Amino acid sequence: MRHLLSTADLTRDEAVGILDLAEDMADVATRAVPKLPTLRGRTVANLFFEDSTRTRLSFEAAAKRLSADVITFSAKGSSVSKGESLKDTAQTIAAMGVDAVVLRHSASGAAQVLAESDWIDAAVVNAGDGTHQHPTQGLLDAYTLRKTLHADASRGRDLDGVRVAIVGDVLHSRVARSNVWLLTTLGAHVTLVGPRTLLPMGVGAWPVDVTTDLDAAIAARPDAVMMLRVQQERMHAAFFPHEREYASGWSLDDDRFARLAADTIVMHPGPMNRGLEISARAADSPRSVILDQVTNGVSIRMAVLYLVLSGSDPREAAA
């Protein structure tokens, strides 16, 4: 795998392969020395043009468990605020000798642009680009679903027939987009739920069901509900009137939580707005796998870094 840019690029077998590899990586964490020498001597640059401590730390942990060196660039207080471009920043970091770039950027398509340009020759892993994709989040969600449903029998399996409701601000959510393509590629059946203002125009072309009625979606007894984070600033742009009205329609509150089937998996990519899109009871319940998602994120990112950094190096092939 040269880059990881979008879950829409993955075939079923590629996706299952990544999840299986993440199983191996998860085993490493349980050993006497929870570290592999695999990427010794290789350097991973975390280029975070947009703040995200969680994702940055997760990639950093993944890289370090594979013995890669990690250098981190974060936009705050850096030259980006002085107007340095993606191209210049990426080339500057690449000039320091970097084998992979983990890119977080507020512009949709930034990872694609960097990967397809001739600006740098490092592998590019998309760690979230605008409102487009966050493929490792999609993968870790798929991994978490598979692990929760199939436990030790997970290897080699997809998500055939698994029914997932994704609820909330789909319009602005790269997590939702990554999950829509990945989960459906893996055979899952996805229903998107949210107010019309937060569902994209053109969503009808996606391979999913769409509804505005969360209660109906819950009554359909999904295997998992994934609650998306609601950005507080959305209400100022007239996407919904205020928090209480949003919560009454699209929050996984105690009442809706009680109506879920006993084995329904509750997911959230974090960080959560407790009391807004999800109640504390739902978030902290045994059905919630929210902390598993975080743990699994490291395994998935180890697998992805291994895949983009192993295999024939194009630079050596050219030499």
Partner 1 sequence: MTTIIIRGARPLAGDPVDLLIEDGVIAERGSGLSRARATVIDADGLVALPGLVDLHTHLREPGFETSETVLTGTRAAAAGGFTAVHAMANTSPVADTAGVVEQVASLGAHHGYATVRPIGAVTVGLAGERLSEIGAMARSRAAVRVFSDDGKCVHDALLMRRALEYVATFDGVIAQHAQEPRLTEGAQMNEGEVSAELGLAGWPAVAEEAIIARDVLLADAVGARLHVCHLSTAGSVEIVRWAKARGIRVTAEVTPHHLLLTEQLVADGGGDPYTSYDARFKVNPPLRRDEDVQALREALADGTIDIVATDHAPHPVESKECAWQEASFGMVGLESALSVVQTAMVDTGHFGWTDVARVLSRVPAEIGRLSGYDAPFEQGSPAHLTLIDPASRSVFGVGSLRGKGVNSPYLGRELPGRVVATIHGGVPTVIDGALRDAEEVSRG
Partner 2 sequence: MPARTVLQRADIARALTRISHEILESNRGGSDLILLGIPTRGVVLAERIAANLEAFEPGSGVVGALDVTMYRDDLHRHPTRTPSPTRLPAGGVDGKTVVLVDDVLFSGRTIRAALDAIGDLGRPRAVRLAVLVDRGHRELPIRADFVGKNLPTAAAERIFVRLEETDGDDAVSIEGIA
Residue 313: CB minimum distance to partner 1, A: 22
String marking each residue 68-107 x if it binds partner 1 according to CB under 8 A: -----------------xxx-----------------xxx
Q: Exposed, middle or buried: residue 169 (CB in 10 Å: 0-12, 13-18, 19+)?
A: buried
Q: Is 21 in the site for partner 2 (CB under 8 A)?
A: yes
- Structural contact between residues 228 and 170, judged by C-beta atoms closer than 8 angstroms: yes
Out of partner 2, partner 1, none, what residue 154 binds, judged by CB under 5 to 8 A for its kind, is none
Q: Is 155 in the site for partner 2 (CB under 8 A)?
A: yes
- Only one of the segments 53-61, 129-137, 156-164, 243-251 lies at the binding site for partner 1 (rule: CB under 8 A); that segment is 129-137
Please name which of 270, 274, 198, 260 lies closest in space to residue 233, comparing C-alpha atoms: 198
DSSP 33-70: S----TTTT-EEEEEESS--HHHHHHHHHHHHHTT-EE
d(CA 220, CA 214): 10
String marking each residue 47-66 x if it binds partner 2 according to CB under 8 A: -------------------x
d(CA 161, CA 184): 10
Q: Which residues, at least 6 apart from 133, have a Cβ–Cβ distance to it below 8 Å?
A: 5, 6, 7, 8, 111, 126, 174, 177, 178
- Only one of the segments 126-134, 153-161, 277-285, 309-317 lies at the binding site for partner 1 (rule: CB under 8 A); that segment is 126-134
Please name which of 260, 18, 14 lies closest in space to residue 141, comparing C-alpha atoms: 18
**Partners of residue 102 on adjacent β-strands:** 46, 125
Q: Which of 50, 60, 99, 129 binds partner 1 (CB under 8 A)?
A: 129
Q: Is the dihedral of CA 225, 201, 235, 57 positive or negative?
A: positive
Q: Is the dihedral of CA 165, 168, 172, 175 positive or negative?
A: negative
Residue 61: CB minimum distance to partner 1, A: 27
Q: Is 306 in the site for partner 2 (CB under 8 A)?
A: yes
- Structural contact between residues 234 and 242, judged by C-beta atoms closer than 8 angstroms: no
Residue 42: CB minimum distance to partner 2, A: 8
Out of partner 1, partner 2, none, what residue 17 binds, judged by CB under 5 to 8 A for its kind, is partner 2
d(CA 59, CA 301): 6
When the beta carbons of 92 and 285 are compared against partner 1, the nearer one is: 92
Q: Is 80 in the site for partner 2 (CB under 8 A)?
A: no
Q: Exposed, middle or buried: residue 28 (CB in 10 Å: 0-12, 13-18, 19+)?
A: middle
Residue 314: CB minimum distance to partner 1, A: 17
Q: Which of 206, 240, 250, 257 binds partner 1 (CB under 8 A)?
A: 206
- Kindly state the number of chain residues that form the binding site for partner 1, as judged by CB under 8 A: 28
Please name which of 251, 33, 269, 51 lies closest in space to residue 144, comparing C-alpha atoms: 269
Residue 237: CB minimum distance to partner 1, A: 8
Residue 151: CB minimum distance to partner 1, A: 34
Residues making contact with partner 2 (CB under 8 A) = 1, 17, 21, 23-24, 27, 31-33, 35-38, 66, 155, 306-307, 309-313, 316
Residues making contact with partner 1 (CB under 8 A) = 8, 85-87, 105-110, 112-113, 116-117, 129-133, 174, 177, 200-206
